[in-house]
């Protein structure tokens, strides 16, 4: 490592009940791409917010470029040459690209001059963008370009990127990496946060691994086994999901010309979706966020009704039916957002179990709720899926993301559905919990259910899906067998291609 640009020593930050950062020390070299690895809740976000001046540490110090560095607010961090691209984009949908960029700068020039600068910088880094467009209508990849450009216009010395690739197609990831490498050539240091080990191995020169707020290891990711890094992150070893090869059985779920207008502003309409899912099969639906995943989930679960013949379950036309009627026939679903959509945050796990399990588990008797049976059902889910919680009386809000996700998926699986639809089943879930959930989906298919997994995590789909199709601007590509499909072919299916031509 050459001399350090940023050195952290002994940084600690405690919140009531949790030590988010505990005595963290490491340094980032000049022109180095440094990875910060860790599970959700390991303290990565708190740490980078400290560096960006959004969080004040309780103790410890930082040195930037040989000078003490203790930013009281992001303004100060930006002035010292630290820029950050956020995980959940810090963009404003109703404002234009240029206005969004202006908001992230200290002393932006006038809008017209700024637009020229944006055009110029975006050309030189191969990130095409129209400054006048409204951000609400941009794709995820384009939105990230806005964030990156906002940073580049300030000529940063340290660029912090918080899970930048989680919403990008493989091709967009390539474009991003090319840009970041170009920046490194120019001497910019990059602090790169991710839990995708593959890209870190390909791309980073040093890595610091966090677990429960502490530094548990440093390594050179180019020379370390991904499995070893993963186990350091989790602090335990875990089994990868496995399952015997399955023979697809009779058709269960059939979509015929499924079309629907976007239910919300900035939503995506569904266009002529045709696919059949068979018993014992896992159909993986990939795609970049905002290409109709939520709308497709809603159309399948019954939250959004369509023409009767567009969706059929074992020959019964169910397009007009609501979620309860579909559940009664054997189609269960778990939406993406677990807090507030799949589960009611302020209700107990028993109550949440009652909400979807009432029909298929017989939790209602002559219009009266059978709380005892609901509690038993919730307990069964907790036991079977290893949900870490004091008991079924706990409010859903109190569970960590991974545990709540295990609960909401388990709740549907234990209803023995003939067809299960899940959207982003392991989003923001730690690796161990993700493995449990994936195994449960495979087991369900093995028992003869048809499973539809909508996910933006391609590794996940490659691991569990039998067939793969891509969702792009509300259109579904023809399914192809997952086995033998290369990452490049998948990328082309995801339809990042039109985006890429401009960029190339």
Binder among 38, 60, 108, 241 for other proteins (CB under 8 A): 108
Nearest-approach distance from CB 309 to other proteins, in angstroms: 34
Cβ-count burial 330-357 (b if 16+ within 10 Å, e if not): bbbbbbbebeeebbeeeebbbbbbbebb
Distance between CA atoms of residues 180 and 207, nearest Å: 16
Binder among 54, 121, 262, 500 for other proteins (CB under 8 A): 54
User: 272 CB contacts (<8 Å, ≥6 apart)?
Assistant: 257, 258, 259, 475
How far lies 73's CA from each of 17, 78, 153, 202, 411, in Å? Answer: 25, 9, 19, 33, 44
Taking the alpha carbons at both ends of the chain, their separation in whole angstroms is: 32
Query: Per CB under 8 A, does 74 bind other proteins?
Result: yes
Query: Per CB under 8 A, does 115 bind other proteins?
Result: no
Question: Which positions from 232 to 271 touch other proteins by CB under 8 A, shown as an x/- string?
Answer: ---------------------------------x------
- Tell me the H-state helices in 302-400: 323-329, 349-357, 371-384
Task: Please identify, using beta-carbon distances, which residue of 178 and 214 lies nearer to other proteins.
Answer: 214
How far lies 132's CA from each of 112, 119, 149, in Å? Answer: 10, 10, 14
Task: Please identify, using beta-carbon distances, which residue of 89 and 238 lies nearer to other proteins.
Answer: 89
Question: Which positions from 19 to 38 touch other proteins by CB under 8 A, shown as an x/- string?
Answer: -x------------------
Query: Per CB under 8 A, does 73 bind other proteins?
Result: yes
Query: Per CB under 8 A, does 303 bind other proteins?
Result: no
CB 275 within 8 A of CB 483: no
Query: Per CB under 8 A, does 210 bind other proteins?
Result: no
Binder among 65, 99, 309, 317 for other proteins (CB under 8 A): 99
Task: Please identify, using beta-carbon distances, which residue of 74 and 243 lies nearer to other proteins.
Answer: 74
Part of the chain binding other proteins (CB under 8 A), chosen from 48-56, 396-404, 445-453, 480-488: 48-56
Part of the chain binding other proteins (CB under 8 A), chosen from 28-36, 74-82, 236-244, 380-388: 74-82
CB 337 within 8 A of CB 294: no
DSSP assigned state of 85: E
Query: Per CB under 8 A, does 55 bind other proteins?
Result: yes
Nearest-approach distance from CB 95 to other proteins, in angstroms: 6
Task: Please identify, using beta-carbon distances, which residue of 72 and 236 lies nearer to other proteins.
Answer: 72
How far lies 137's CA from each of 50, 100, 289, 425, in Å? Answer: 32, 13, 13, 26
76-95 positions binding other proteins, by CB under 8 A: 78, 86, 88-95
> Would strands 450-454 and 282-286 be described as parallel, antiparallel, or unpaired?
parallel
Question: If we measure between CA atoms, which residue out of 437, 54, 494 comes closest to residue 285?
Answer: 494
Query: Per CB under 8 A, does 346 bind other proteins?
Result: no
The 10 Å Cβ neighbour count of residue 327 is 22
Nearest-approach distance from CB 428 to other proteins, in angstroms: 15
Binder among 4, 5, 102, 318 for other proteins (CB under 8 A): 102
CB 82 within 8 A of CB 51: yes
**For residue 270, which phi and psi values (nearest 5 degrees)?**
-90, 140
Query: Per CB under 8 A, does 75 bind other proteins?
Result: yes
Nearest-approach distance from CB 91 to other proteins, in angstroms: 6
Nearest-approach distance from CB 195 to other proteins, in angstroms: 20
Query: Per CB under 8 A, does 46 bind other proteins?
Result: yes
Query: Per CB under 8 A, does 104 bind other proteins?
Result: yes
Nearest-approach distance from CB 213 to other proteins, in angstroms: 13
Nearest-approach distance from CB 286 to other proteins, in angstroms: 28
Q: How many CA atoms lie within 13 A of 495 on its CB side?
A: 18
Interacting residues with other proteins (CB under 8 A): 15, 20, 46, 53-55, 73-75, 78, 86, 88-95, 99, 102-104, 108, 265
């Amino acid at each position: 490592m050459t001399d350090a640009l940023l050195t952290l020593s002994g940084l600690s930050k405690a919140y009531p009940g949790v030590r988010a950062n505990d005595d963290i020390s490491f340094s980032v070299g000049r022109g180095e791409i440094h990875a910060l690895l860790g599970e959700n809740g390991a303290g990565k976000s708190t740490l980078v917010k400290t560096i960006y001046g959004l969080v004040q540490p309780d103790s410890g110090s930082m040195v930037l470029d040989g000078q003490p560095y203790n930013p009281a607010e992001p303004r100060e961090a930006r002035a010292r040459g630290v820029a950050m691209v956020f995980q959940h984009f810090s963009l404003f949908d109703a404002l234009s690209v240029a206005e969004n960029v202006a908001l992230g700068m200290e002393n932006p020039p006038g809008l017209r001059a700024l637009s020229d600068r944006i055009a110029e910088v975006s050309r030189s880094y191969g990130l095409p963008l129209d400054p006048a467009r409204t951000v609400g209508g941009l794709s995820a990849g384009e939105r990230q370009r806005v964030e990156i450009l906002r940073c580049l216009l300030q000529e940063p010395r340290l660029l912090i990127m918080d899970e930048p690739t989680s919403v990008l197609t493989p091709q967009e990831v390539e474009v991003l990496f090319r840009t970041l490498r170009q920046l490194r050539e120019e001497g910019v240091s990059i602090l790169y946060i991710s839990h995708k080990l593959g890209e870190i191995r390909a791309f980073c020169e040093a890595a610091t691994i966090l677990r429960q707020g502490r530094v548990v290891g440093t390594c050179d990711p180019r020379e370390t086994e991904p499995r070893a890094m993963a186990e350091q992150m989790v602090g335990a070893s875990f089994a990868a999901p496995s399952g015997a090869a399955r023979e697809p059985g009779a058709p269960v779920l059939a979509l015929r010309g499924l079309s629907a207008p976007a239910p919300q502003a900035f939503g995506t309409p569904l266009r002529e979706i045709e696919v059949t899912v068979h018993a014992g099969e896992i159909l993986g639906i990939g795609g970049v966020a905002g290409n109709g995943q939520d709308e497709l989930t809603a159309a399948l679960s019954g939250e959004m009704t369509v023409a009767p013949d567009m969706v059929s379950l074992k020959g019964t036309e169910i397009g007009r039916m609501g979620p309860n009627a579909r559940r009664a026939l054997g189609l269960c679903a778990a939406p993406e957002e677990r807090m507030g959509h799949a589960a009611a945050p302020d209700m107990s796990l028993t109550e949440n179990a009652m909400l979807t399990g009432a029909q298929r588990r017989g939790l209602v008797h002559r219009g009266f709720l059978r709380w005892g049976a609901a509690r038993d059902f919730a307990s069964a889910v907790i036991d079977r899926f290893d949900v870490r919680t004091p008991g079924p009386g706990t409010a859903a809000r109190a569970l960590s993301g991974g545990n709540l996700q295990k609960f909401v998926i388990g709740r549907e699986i234990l209803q023995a559905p003939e067809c299960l639809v899940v959207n982003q089943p392991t989003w923001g879930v730690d690796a161990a919990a993700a493995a449990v959930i994936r195994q449960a989906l495979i087991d369900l298919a093995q028992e003869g259910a048809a499973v539809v997994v909508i996910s933006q995590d391609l590794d996940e789909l490659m691991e569990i899906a039998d067939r793969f199709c891509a969702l792009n601007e509300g259109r579904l590509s023809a399914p192809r067998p997952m086995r033998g499909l290369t990452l490049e072919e998948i990328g082309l299916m995801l339809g990042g291609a039109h985006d890429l031509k401009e960029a190339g």
